[in-house]
């Protein structure tokens, strides 16, 4: 575990690295080329040379599909040095967005070292702003490992978070500073795991200084789970006995060491949870919590109001921007509100390049803007880019699939706002609606519903072309802040919401509508818990719950059927 001095050193290191980004980036690329120029992959472009200009000139920009044949060969038993000189020790299963096909991302020992450094830097930033959190108390962080799978060659394939939880170094940190027992985190039954993590979090409620999950979805899932199970949890706390359905031996062992009858604690939790409104429930249940730590940018920004409602004024902190491919940025100002979060890139983590995008259509820039990728220190303020990563583990000029916007600089290093996943597009005719467009449209409609006492538990969309002309369908889970969850929605107001969404969509969408090339936008309101079922579906298909991101747009027939079977009411734009 890092010591206080290491955290101070962490801050100093951040200052030094961000002040010297250009040199560090050159050094990172130089070392990657020196080690890997002889690999089968790079030598076809570089002929064994390690020249950086040649790298930029000859090495192609690739997507996962382009390098998949190499990865498959390694997964099937060929030596890893066809791609990277250092041995591949495992693969991380990345989904990017949960709707996508899981990818296998190569990992070498050096990646673990970078992960440890990234974690220390992030903790240094948090401690700077919130005081020494390790001394202040424990973190209630909802974490879920997934079972490992193996490639035919015997290499492990698992989510990066699972790898993190299983790593000795982090296991120690977790067991010391988190209320969630490692046995519960590793339990593959997510319901038993969630129950145990909530139970221990409630038993240790006076020690909890932050409530967290990697992405906002999981904190909200925990709240929904608590809504459904708080009476049972209180009864367990009262009696000191664990419910019979907790059969996982790890969970049982971990709980048995802390469970003892505690009627007083059960009473106070019961008093809080039996209130009509759950506004501020997180703050009430964990009174010493200083903040909620979960990513609330990108597609997660749809959950901000809902988290604020449950958080009761607790600061929302969105501190990291990372992907299975690379650790990228850290939010150096974690107290900034979710809509202003920017991530400062850490120059030591990988070699980063940025493909300029055309602001209006978010396609590759033409005309007045450069189309060649630019280096980290050469990005321009307010410009949009697609991120390319060259990693120490065998990714070269790899498109991560994220769109970022430059919002400023810390020393010489740029800071980026996360804009959206590239290519998540709804389209019927000539219209192209991106993740960000849709988010704006839903936000517009939401402002209409909030005064009526509804909060959003999630939305997604699909292009319904089963009738002609096709139309956009938005599935939406709405919850009444108080009272009956199945409260009737005013059809006039909901039709107005549909209309507001259409108004917010681009000019091309609207002109298609006028010409009847697209039919009226439809909102399908789904039952409580539908989006948890959607998450369960994707988790059953290989996505890690910790890394789950609600897809903005779904294409899978099965996923659409799940939501369709939960529809309570349908509304159309007038
Ligand atoms: P995975 O590798 O499956 O964990 O997915 C990584 C992806 O999650 C990234 O490429 C982003 O699309 C998304 N992501 C990670 N961090 C953030 C963040 N801070 N804000 C928005 N999206 C994020």
> What does the radius of gyration of the chain's CA atoms come to, in whole angstroms?
24
Name the DSSP letter for residue 433.
Answer: B
Q: What's the pLDDT at 365?
A: 58
Q: Ligand 1 centroid to 400 CA: how many Å?
A: 9
Residues paired with residue 402 on neighbouring β-strands, in sequence order: 421
Cα–Cα dist 290/133, whole Å: 10
| Three-state DSSP class for residue 356 | strand
Q: Ligand 1 centroid to 321 CA: how many Å?
A: 6
**Binding-site residues, ligand 1, Cβ < 6 A:** 94-96, 295, 297-298, 300, 318, 320-324, 400, 402, 418, 421, 547, 549
Q: Ligand 1 centroid to 170 CA: how many Å?
A: 21
Burial class (CB in 10 A: 0-12, 13-18, 19+), 59: middle
Q: In what order do the strands lie in the sheet with 567-572?
A: 454-464, 471-480, 522-526, 567-572
Q: Which of 196-205, 316-325, 477-486 has the lowest mean pLDDT?
A: 477-486
Contact 316, 86 (CB under 8 A): no
Contact 307, 296 (CB under 8 A): yes
Cα–Cα dist 402/421, whole Å: 5
Cα–Cα dist 251/249, whole Å: 6
Name the DSSP letter for residue 148.
Answer: -
Per-residue tokens: 214? 């990697």
Q: What is the mean pLDDT of residues 98-111?
A: 83
Task: Find, among 35, 231, 143, the residue nearest to 547 by Cα.
Answer: 143
Task: Find, among 138, 145, 175, the residue nearest to 160 by Cα.
Answer: 145
Cα–Cα dist 368/365, whole Å: 8
Cα–Cα dist 243/384, whole Å: 52
Q: Ligand 1 centroid to 418 CA: how many Å?
A: 9
pLDDT band at 442 (very low <50, low <70, confident <90, very high): very high
Atom of ligand 1 nearest to the CA of 343: 19
For a ligand 1 pocket test, name from 218, 320, 322 the mutation site with the most ligand atoms within 8 angstroms of its C-beta.
322
CA contacts within 13 A on the Cβ side of 468: 0
CA distances in angstroms from 436 to 20, 300, 517, 524, listed in the order given? 33, 11, 23, 20
Confirm whether pTM is higher than 0.85: yes
Cα–Cα dist 523/368, whole Å: 40
Q: What's the pLDDT at 370?
A: 55
Task: Output 247 or 368, whichever has higher pLDDT.
Answer: 247
Per-residue tokens: 224? 């929904």
Q: Say if residue 574 is preceded by a cis peptide, omega within 30 of 0.
A: no
| Predicted confidence (pLDDT) per residue in 509-556, tens digit | 999 999 999 999 999 999 999 999 999 999 988 889 999 999 999 988
Task: Output 95 or 38, whichever has higher pLDDT.
Answer: 38
Residue nearest to atom 19 of ligand 1 (CA): 321
| Predicted confidence (pLDDT) per residue in 190-220, tens digit | 999 999 999 999 999 999 999 999 999 999 9
The helix or strand, by DSSP H or E, that contains position 354, with its residue range, turns out to be strand 351-357
Residue nearest to atom 8 of ligand 1 (CA): 96
Residue 171: which residues within 8 A CB-CB, separation 6 or more? 165, 182
Q: In what order do the strands lie in the sheet with 374-375?
A: 320-323, 326-330, 343-345, 413-421, 398-410, 384-390, 351-357, 374-375
Atom of ligand 1 nearest to the CA of 298: 21
Q: What is the mean pLDDT of residues 451-464?
A: 91
Residue nearest to atom 7 of ligand 1 (CA): 96
Q: What is the mean pLDDT of residues 433-457?
A: 89
Look at the block and give the residue holding tokens 């040199």.
Answer: 23
Q: Which of 1-15, 46-60, 548-562 has the lowest mean pLDDT?
A: 1-15
For a ligand 1 pocket test, name from 97, 103, 323 the mutation site with the most ligand atoms within 8 angstroms of its C-beta.
323
pLDDT band at 6 (very low <50, low <70, confident <90, very high): low
Q: Ligand 1 centroid to 320 CA: how many Å?
A: 9
Contact 354, 329 (CB under 8 A): no
Strand 471-480 relative to strand 138-141: parallel, antiparallel, unpaired?
unpaired
Phi-psi region of 3 (alpha: psi -120 to 50; beta: other; left: phi over 0): beta
Cα–Cα dist 328/121, whole Å: 12
**Per-residue H/E/C for 192-221:** HHHHHHHHHHHHCHHHEEEEEEEEHHHHHH
Cα–Cα dist 363/358, whole Å: 5
The helix or strand, by DSSP H or E, that contains position 74, with its residue range, turns out to be helix 64-75
The helix or strand, by DSSP H or E, that contains position 214, with its residue range, turns out to be strand 208-215
Q: Ligand 1 centroid to 421 CA: how many Å?
A: 9
Q: Ligand 1 centroid to 323 CA: how many Å?
A: 5
What rounded mean pLDDT belongs to the chain? 92
């Amino acid at each position: 575990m890092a010591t206080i001095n290491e955290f101070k050193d962490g801050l100093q290191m951040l200052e030094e690295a961000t002040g010297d980004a250009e040199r560090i980036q050159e050094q990172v690329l130089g070392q990657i080329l020196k080690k890997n120029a002889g690999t089968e992959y790079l030598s076809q472009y570089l002929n064994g040379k390690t020249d950086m200009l040649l790298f930029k000139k000859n090495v192609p920009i690739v997507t996962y599909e382009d390098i998949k044949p190499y990865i498959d060969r390694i997964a099937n038993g060929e030596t890893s040095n066809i791609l990277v000189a250092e041995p591949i020790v495992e693969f991380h299963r990345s989904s990017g967005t949960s709707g996508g096909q899981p990818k296998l991302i190569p990992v070498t020992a050096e990646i673990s070292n970078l992960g440890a450094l990234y974690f220390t830097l992030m903790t240094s930033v948090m401690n700077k702003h919130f005081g020494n959190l390790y001394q202040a108390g424990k973190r209630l962080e909802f974490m879920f490992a997934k079972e490992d799978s193996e490639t035919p060659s015997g290499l492990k394939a698992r989510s990066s978070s699972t790898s993190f939880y299983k790593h000795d170094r982090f296991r120690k940190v977790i067991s010391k500073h988190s209320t969630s027992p490692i046995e519960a985190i590793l339990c593959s039954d997510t319901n038993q795991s969630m129950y145990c993590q909530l139970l221990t979090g409630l038993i240790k409620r006076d020690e909890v200084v932050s409530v967290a999950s990697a992405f906002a979805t999981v904190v909200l899932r925990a709240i929904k789970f608590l809504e459904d199970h708080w009476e049972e949890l209180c009864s367990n706390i009262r009696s000191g006995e664990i419910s019979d359905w907790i059969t996982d031996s790890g969970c049982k062992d971990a709980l048995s060491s802390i469970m003892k009858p505690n009627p007083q604690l059960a009473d106070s939790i019961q008093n809080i949870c039996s209130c009509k409104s759950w506004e501020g429930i997180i703050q009430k249940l964990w009174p010493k919590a200083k903040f909620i730590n979960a990513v609330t940018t990108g597609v997660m920004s749809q959950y901000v109001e809902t988290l604020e409602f449950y958080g009761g004024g607790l600061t929302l902190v969105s501190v990291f921007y990372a992907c299975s491919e690379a650790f990228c940025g850290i939010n150096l100002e974690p107290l900034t509100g979710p809509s202003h979060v920017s991530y400062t890139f850490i120059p030591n983590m990988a070699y980063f390049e940025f493909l300029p995008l055309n602001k209006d259509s978010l396609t590759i820039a033409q005309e007045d803007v450069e189309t060649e990728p630019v280096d980290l220190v050469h990005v321009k303020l307010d410009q949009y880019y697609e991120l390319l990563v060259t990693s120490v583990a065998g990714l070269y000029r790899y498109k991560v699939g994220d769109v970022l916007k430059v919002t400023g600089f810390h020393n010489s290093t740029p800071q980026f706002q996360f804009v959206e996943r590239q290519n998540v597009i709804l389209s019927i005719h000539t219209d192209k609606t991106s993740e960000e467009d849709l988010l704006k449209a839903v936000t517009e409609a939401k402002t209409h519903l909030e005064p009526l006492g509804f909060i959003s538990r999630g939305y997604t969309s699909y292009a319904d072309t089963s009738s002609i002309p096709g139309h956009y369908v938005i599935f939406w889970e709405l919850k009444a802040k108080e009272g009956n969850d199945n409260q009737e929605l005013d059809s006039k107001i909901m039709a107005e919401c549909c209309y507001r969404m259409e108004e917010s969509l681009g000019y091309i969408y609207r002109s298609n509508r006028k010409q009847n090339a697209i039919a009226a936008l439809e909102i399908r309101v789904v039952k409580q818990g539908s989006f948890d079922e959607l998450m369960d579906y994707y988790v059953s298909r290989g996505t890690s719950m910790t890394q789950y991101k609600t897809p903005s747009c779904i294409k899978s027939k099965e996923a659409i059927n799940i939501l369709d079977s939960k529809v309570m009411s349908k509304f159309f734009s007038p």
